[in-house]
Amino acid sequence: MDHSSKPSDLKIASIQMVSTPDLKENLEVASRLIKAASNNGAQLAVLPEYFCLMGLKDTDKVQVREVPGAGPIQDQLAAIAKENNLYLVAGTIPLEAKEFNKVLNTTIVFNPKGEQVARYDKIHLFGFQTEKERYEESATIEAGNIPSHLLLNINQVEWRLGLSICYDLRFPELYRALGEVDCHIIPAAFTYTTGKDHWEVLLRARAIENQCYVLSSAQGGTHINQRRTWGNSMLIDPWGEILTNLPNGEGFITGILSKDKLKEVRSKLPALKHRKL
């Protein structure tokens, strides 16, 4: 990919992981990959859903939940953002919920000073059942109910970024509710089963219909708990073209968000202005 860019462009990175039940190990991997992305020029990095813990059982995340604004996971993420002088969209971490046996599955965004500047609690909770697989997030996760976005000002350029998580991707009304954005950021842990059939087509649809970039950060591999995730972290442009993709394994992708590209797509096909409902 061509990394030549204008001052009005935003260099981004998406981190892909194969997280384990070891919180400390996952944070070390995240830190190492974010540092590498920062050295590559990234001004904003995104971690995947459940990056800090892919437990042996679903209730493991309840044991490490934190209160909003304080706790060892949040402290370490703040330090990583500050150390690498970038915005960090910190995948999801488990925060205290109203029910003692559940958590909120929450994206927190840290600025380059290590301050928390945005938060989104996952609204749509995944449920899936076949003879071989069963997932029921509502058993351990309390749903959020407020759409959220992130406003950045970098080099006197304003960026509006939509926040959503994994299963949210199947609900286009959430993306419409977020309004016009430059990029939708989607940390995820799509299963291999659903990912192979739906992941790419859903991501590209969200980019095309909202005429914006879509940056996804995924879990990608077979985990110690035997869960298999689809991977394929990718950056998609407002025309629906995949700019860069990491099929599986841990690593990162980088790319550029261009205001010029956004303007070009929206001026030649002003679909957002043609909306009726």
* Catalytic positions, written as ranges: 49, 122, 166
Q: d(Cα 210, Cα 239) in Å, to the nearest integer?
A: 10
Residue 93 token pair: 């971490």
| Cα–Cα distance for residue pair 49/219, rounded to 1 Å | 7
Contact 162, 185 (CB under 8 A): yes
Residues with Cβ within 8 Å of 246's Cβ and at least 6 positions away in sequence, in order, are: 14, 16, 220, 231, 232, 233, 234, 252, 253
User: Beta strand pairing status for 44-46 and 93-96?
Assistant: unpaired
Determine contact, residues 54/92, Cβ cutoff 8 Å: no
Alpha-carbon distance of 86 to 82, in angstroms, equals: 7
